[in-house]
Structure 1
Amino acid sequence: MYNFGDVPDDFITKRHMIFNRTLWKIFQQFGWEKVLEGFEVGTEAFTYETFKYRLDDAVKTAKKVISGDFEFPEKLISYTLFPPGGFIRSDLQQGSMKLMYGESVDVSYIAIWDLEQTIYSILNAHLEDGIPVDWYLLGPEDEILERRHMKTGVKLKDMPKKNKGRDFNNLGKKITEILKDLRNERTPEFSSSTYMVGLTWASHAAHLPFIFSYYEALARLWDLLAAKKNTGLEGFAYVPASPTIQMLAYMSRPDYIIKSAGLLSDHKMYIIGLEEQNRDFLLENLPEDYDLFINEKWHEGLPWPYQTVNVQTPYEKMKKKNAWKHAQTNNTFEWNYSHPENFIKLEDLGMDLDQVMNGVFLDINHSIEPNSVNLKDKMISTGCGQFTEFI
C-alpha cells in the first residue's frame, strides 16, 4: 500500500487526489509507475473514444427529440455537450442549457496535461437555442496548438506553463484570444455567439467516466469548482462563467448537488454506464484498472443520492494545521458515508454487470433514505440517448 507522501511532489495535481478518488485508489494499490502507465496507455485512446461516442450521440439524440421520434422524452437520459459527455433528461435539455449557458454559445474545454503543464486537448462544442449542434476535438499533436499569442508570442500549448499563480481566469482570457479567431475561421456563422472556455486537468477528464452515480458526478463538479479553496490549486473554471453557473459555484456542496440535479434530471438518479468498447479496451490494456474501477466498485456498490448529499467530506480536516504533512504517511482522506453497507448493489437492481453498464434511470432522489424503497419498482428506463429502452 502506497502513501500520499510517495506521490512525486512535482505532480502538480497531487493535492487533488483528495477527491480524484479513482486515481488515488490506483496509486494506493499499485504505485506511481501504474499511474503513469494509465496516463500513457489510456488517456488518449480511452478518453477520445468515450467523448467521441457520447458527443456524436448527444447531437443525434437532440435532433430526434426535437422531431418527436421519442414517445417519452421525460424518461430518456441523453448525453450533453456541456459538460462534454455529461447527462441530462432530454426534455429538460433546451431550457436548462439556455439558463446555464445562453442562447447561442461555444465552449472550448481545455484539458491541461498534469505532468508537463501543457494543453493536452481542446474539445469545442456549440449550442444553439439550448440544443447541441456541433463539436470538434483537437489532440496533443494538432498543429493548432502550435499557434502563438499575438502579443506574448507564447504557443497555445505552452500557455499553462507560463501562467503565473496557476490562475485559470487569467489563462482562460489569453487562450480565448487565440481560440475565438479559430472559431470565427471554422464556423463564421457563429462569430457573434458567446464564447467561453472551460479549463481542467487531464487527470480529471480521464477519470470522470469511472463515476457511475449521477449524483456523485455532480458532486465531483463541485469538488473541481471549489478545488482552489479546498486544496490551493484550481480544478475547473469557466471563463467567463455565466450568472447561473456563478450562482451554483458559490453554493455549499449539498446545495450545489441538489440544485444541479433539479435542473438536469428533476432530482432523479441515473446510474451511469460505460460503453462496451471502452470496457473491452480496459480489459485488454489496463486489466487492473478494470478490476478496481468496475468490478470492485460494483462489489462495494454506489451511494444512494441521500448518502451522496450527506457525506462527511475530508475538506475541513485537511485545512487544519499540518494536515497535509500528516497525510504524507497516514492517508487521511476519509469520505464518511452513512451506512455504506446499504449502497446500491447489482442484486438490488436485479441486474448483472453487463446490464447495469448500459445505464439505469431511477425514480429516486436525495430525500429517499437507503433501502426504504424497492429499486426494481423505481426503474424508468435503461440505456442512454438513442438506445434507451423504456420500462
Structure 2
Amino acid sequence: MGAGGTLPAPASATPPTRHRHHHPHPAPTHPAPTHPGAWWLWALSLGTAATRTTNPLLLALLITVSAYVVITRRPHAPWSRSYGAFVKLALAVLLIRLLFTTILGSPIPGTHTLLTLPEVPLPHWAQGIRLGGRVTAEGLTFALYDAMKLATLLICVGAANALANPARLLKSLPGALYEMGVAVVVALTFAPNLIADVQRLRAARRLRGRPDRGVRGLLQVGLPVLEGALERSVALAAAMDARGYGRTARVPAPVRRTTAALTLGGLLGVCAGTYGLLTAAGGTYGIPVLVAGVAAALGGLWLGGRRTVRTRYRPDRWDARAWLVTASGVAVAALLFLAAARDPAALHPGVVPLTAPTLPLWPAAAVLLGLLPAFVTPAPENTMGTPVKEPS
C-alpha cells in the first residue's frame, strides 16, 4: 500500500444506508357536497306535501323528518344556523292564529265552550265580525290544524336554508337568471346573516359583562347589526364591479327575438297548463300544454344564457345523490297528492263533531321516504375538515 492510498473496506462493514423518502399516504378525500338545488327541491316538495293535509299527525311527521335531516346533514357554517329561527317563526304563527281565533271568533260552530269573553258591540256595517264572545274547542282545533299547515311549510323552507349553500346555489343558476338569482340569494341570506350577526354581538356583549337581553340590549345590538349589513352591501357591490358584473355579449337580433318568443310563450304555456290541471274542464289539455310550456321556457333560458358572459369555477355536478334527494321529496309530495284524492277524510280530519285524529298508515309511510337524504348524502365536515361522526 503506497502513501496516499486508501484502505479497502473490511468485509464485515455495513454498506452505507440510503435515505428512504417516506411518502405519506394521501389523505382520504371527502365526497363532494350535495347539489344545493337538490336540497331546495327536496324541501319544497315536503312543503308541497304539507299543503295537501291538515292532519296534525302527518304534519308533525313531516316536521320530524325535515328536522332529522337537518340535524344530521347541516353543515357547520353561519348561514346554516337559521333553522331555529324558522322554527320559532312557525311557533309564532301558531300562537298568533290561535290568538286571533280567540279574540275574533271562528266560523266553525261548536258545542264545547272553553270560555266566554266580553263581547264588544260593533256597528251594523261590520256584520260578520265580532270581538270577544264564546270560544269553542272546535274553533280552536280548526285554527290549530290550519296554522300547522303554514308552520310546516315555513319549517321546510328553513330546512332548505340550513342545508343549501346560497353562494353555491347562485353559482348553479342558468346564465339568464343570474341577475335575478343575485337578488333572490341576497334576500334568502338576509335572515341567516342577521341571526349570525346578532348571536356574535350578543356573545361579545356577554364577554364584556354588558346586558344582551331586553329592550336595552336589543337597541344596543341593532345599530352594529345594521352597520354590518351596510358594510357587506358596499363590499358586495365593489366586488361585483371589480369582477365585471353585468357585462353582456353581443347576440344577433334573430337570437334575441327567438329567446323572447320562447320565454314568453313558455310562461304562457305554463300558466295555461296549470289552469287546466286545476279545473275539471281542462284536464285533457292541461298536462300537454304544461309540458310544452316548460320545454319552451327552458329553451328560452338556454338561449338567454348566451348573452351573459361568465364562467364557473368548479361547478357543482348533479350526481346520483342529487337525483335520490330530489326523488325522495317528489315521491312524498306525489304520494300525498294521491292520498288526498283517494281518502280525503284521513288527510283532513273533521272537527265537528270533535274527534281525535288518526294516523293513516300508508301516507305516513310515504312521508318517511323523506328521510332518504340522511343516509345517501355525505356527512358534513367539522372545523378540522374531517367528517362528523354519524349519530348512533
The normalised TM-score by structure 1 is 0.23
Q: Which has the higher strand share?
A: 1
Q: Which of the two has greater helix per residue? A: 2
TM-score by length of 2: 0.23
Q: Which has the larger radius of gyration?
A: 2
Looking at both structures, which has the greater relative contact order when contacts are Cα pairs under 8 Å and sequence separation is at least 6? 2
